[in-house]
Amino acid sequence: MRYDLATHYVLKYQPAIVLINLLLFTLLWAWPRSAEAALFTWSDTEIQYLHGDGYRMPKNTNDVSRSIITLSHADGWALGRNFLFMDTLISEQGEASQVNLYGEFYSYLSFSKMTGQNLAYGLFKDLNLAVGVNAGENMDSVRSGSRVILYGFTVDFNVPGFKLFTVDFLQHNVLEPIAFGTSWQITPVWKFPFTLAGTHWSLEGFADFIGPKGPNYAGSVLAQPQIRLDVGDFFGVANHLYAGIEYQYWNNKYGIKGLQESLPQALLLWKF
């Protein structure tokens, strides 16, 4: 029954999912550069393809194979910055065929920009107000999926060699599938570019440390570090085409005690 339902949703929604991603991609790509310059001080958009074997799911003893298409965008403006991404997760083996969606949006207001004062001192660079929304949609069931609201502070650091190093300190409010109340989340994010034997690389990623979401749930850790090689540099399109590996580690996945995930994922991405 689950396979039939999943197949129904895949056939019904997959064209729409692909169309939505294509529309988002087209809008971000075709956005007038003059309008972008007026709104943003900088912007960064990329599309990633990931593939891995060994994903773990609740009540499933099989290793699951998946392909994941991620569209992400970050930008800076007069008072802060924004970040968003949308994952399309396509299960291929180990569970009934299905397509799921997951996305996050965060907006940050910089104290330095709002006050007009340079707050940098030593390793400290800036302090930001932060608010975010996480949302997932399970296309293989009638459940609405996950809904989380987050808010708190983000500290920006000046770490030698790093292009980006920030740490979020957030209140984590779960709204669905069950209103658990509040928890907490600490998320370091980093980007470290480097050169090796004339080739250009970047080590980047994040780690979520999340407290227990309820009495029957455990705290969890999700880490997704990536190493990227600028392969476009070999073909005259430097800073656009990258290949590499993302390692995914998830302890107590979804807050389920003992559900562990550890696997490498092949990575291919295009940066606009």
Report the pLDDT value the prediction gives residue 179, as an integer from 0 to 100: 55
Report the pLDDT value the prediction gives residue 175, as an integer from 0 to 100: 84
Report the pLDDT value the prediction gives residue 103, as an integer from 0 to 100: 95
Distance CA 190, CA 175 (A): 28
For 10, other C-beta atoms within 10 Å of its C-beta total 19
| Cα distance from N-terminal residue to C-terminal residue, the chain | 42
Domain CATH code at residue 151: 2.40.230.20
Structural domains of the chain, count? 1
Distance CA 153, CA 36 (A): 27
Distance CA 94, CA 54 (A): 9
Domain of residue 69 covers: 2-271
Residue pLDDT tens, the chain, 272 long: 333 333 343 344 444 444 445 445 545 554 555 545 557 899 999 999 999 999 999 999 999 999 999 999 999 999 999 999 999 999 999 998 889 999 999 999 999 999 999 999 999 999 999 999 999 987 655 445 788 999 999 999 999 999 999 999 999 998 876 656 689 999 999 999 999 999 999 999 999 999 998 788 899 999 999 999 999 999 999 999 999 999 999 999 999 999 999 999 999 999 99
Phi-psi region of 255 (alpha: psi -120 to 50; beta: other; left: phi over 0): left
Q: How far is CA 148 from CA 130, 151, 177, 179, 181, in A?
A: 14, 10, 10, 10, 10
Report the pLDDT value the prediction gives residue 25, as an integer from 0 to 100: 52
